[in-house]
Amino acid sequence: MAKVIAIANQKGGVGKTTTAVNLGACLGTLGKKVLLIDIDPQGNASSGLGFNRMEVERCIYDVIINGLPLKSVIQETRVENLHLVPATIQLAGAEIELVAAISREMKLKKALSPEKENYDYVIIDSPPSLGLLTINALTAADSLIIPIQCEYYALEGLGQLMNTIQLVQKHLNPRLQLEGVLLTMFDARTNLSIQVVDEVKSFFKNKVFRTIIPRNVRLSEAPSHGLPVIMYDPKCRGSEVYFELAKEVIENG
């Protein structure tokens, strides 16, 4: 049975999609069967794996709103063992359409349930908000990874995120656990980066991944080639650290 991991933080640009794509690709390359679900209307995880949003015919919207089986929208990717459920801009409407739906927070969880036996890991890339799409991700998940960018205002908004997680645990998904906080875009040359690492570690203690993701230009270039970094430049630092992260996730059990 798959472990379902949501990647969430309502801040944009903190490395959610980069982590979803590259963690997924590394887990796949390490022999795990992985399903990556893109539930961000921006569809960056989909385009980062070479799926052009204009060419995607059916996406997660059809599953969440129209009740299509998840299986019917799963696509193979160029990465071994990595399958994708793509998102398109059509999904932007779902946030509002879900409001009036019955068991609106459970749509993804229900759709995912028959597929869980086919994978070792399901990774969900969430949008930069705490709306119903992110709530669906947290409700479907066994655990979550919170990426935090080593920048100014890194900790801003975390209180709100933790509140949302507690509400989900209380009312929708008592099993939800924190897989780990992931420090991203670390720059060893700046005191600020070092300061953020210290602050995050003193707050989240042993819930911070040992692996810290540095700023790496290859990581930012790879998506425009529609490839995870391990296929774009297997030897770069970005590839190494996402492999380290994948091994840590496997260790966590």
> What are the tokens at 243?
């492999």
SS3 8: coil
From the list 14-22, 77-85, 87-95, 165-173, the region that binds ligand ADP by CB under 6 A is 14-22
**Closest to 148 measured CA to CA, from 105, 180, 101:** 180
From the list 13-21, 70-78, 116-124, 227-235, the region that binds ligand ADP by CB under 6 A is 13-21
109 scored as a contact of ligand ADP (CB under 6 A): no
In DSSP terms, which residues pair with 60 in a beta bridge?
A: none
Question: Considering the complex, what minimum distance in angstroms separates the CB of residue 171 from ligand ADP?
Answer: 26
> What are the tokens at 187?
């720059």
Count of chain residues binding ligand ADP (CB under 6 A)? 17
Binding residues among 170-189 for ligand ADP as defined by CB under 6 A:
184-185
Residue from the set 10, 18, 77, 139 that interacts with ligand ADP by CB under 6 A: 18
Residue from the set 3, 16, 32, 107 that interacts with Mg ion by CB under 5 A: 16
Starting from the edge strand earliest in sequence, which strands make up the sheet with 177-184, in order? 75-76, 82-85, 34-38, 121-125, 3-7, 143-149, 177-184
Could you count the other beta carbons within 10 Å of the beta carbon of residue 169? 14
Residue 39: burial class (beta carbons within 10 Å; 0-12, 13-18, 19+): buried
**Closest to 176 measured CA to CA, from 217, 229, 213, 134:** 134
In the complex with ligand ADP, which residue's Cβ is closer, 139 or 184?
A: 184
131 scored as a contact of ligand ADP (CB under 6 A): no
Could you count the other beta carbons within 10 Å of the beta carbon of residue 1? 9
From the list 8-16, 85-93, 165-173, 242-250, the region that binds ligand ADP by CB under 6 A is 8-16
17 scored as a contact of Mg ion (CB under 5 A): yes
13 scored as a contact of ligand ADP (CB under 6 A): yes
Contact set with ligand ADP (CB under 6 A): 12-18, 44, 128, 184-185, 213, 215-216, 219-220, 223
Contact set with Mg ion (CB under 5 A): 16-17, 44
